[in-house]
Amino acid sequence: MTTKELLIQEIETLPPELLKEALNFIREIKTSHTARQSSKNKLRGSTAEDLLEFAGTWEGDDIRECLQLVHDTRMPLEF
């Protein structure tokens, strides 16, 4: 049996009071999937300016320490 057939079989045996809950769950899954796909498509081929929409602003006073950590832990380039 296919997954779809199994799903239909399970839905057919649900008590009426659970059908609405199952429907809401399926709709939630579809909405979540659509949102993830939309987000992936938006990021693909984006410019740096487009990506700034997802970046927050810097908050804090540890920028120097963070920059030092980047310099201390990055791997040297090999050509």
What pLDDT sits at residue 77? 74
Q: What is the DSSP string of 1-60?
A: --HHHHHHHHHHTS-HHHHHHHHHHHHHHHHHHHHHHHHHHHHTT--HHHHGGG-----S
For the question of whether the overall pTM of this predicted structure is more than 0.85, the answer is: no
What pLDDT sits at residue 46? 65
Q: Are 28 and 36 in contact (CB under 8 A)?
A: no
pLDDT string in tens for the chain (79-residue length): 999 999 999 999 999 999 999 999 999 999 988 888 776 666 566 677 776 777 777 677 888 888 898 888 887 777 6
What pLDDT sits at residue 29? 92
**Domain boundaries of the chain, sorted by first residue:** 3-73
Which secondary-structure segment (H or E) carries 74? Answer: none
What pLDDT sits at residue 23? 93
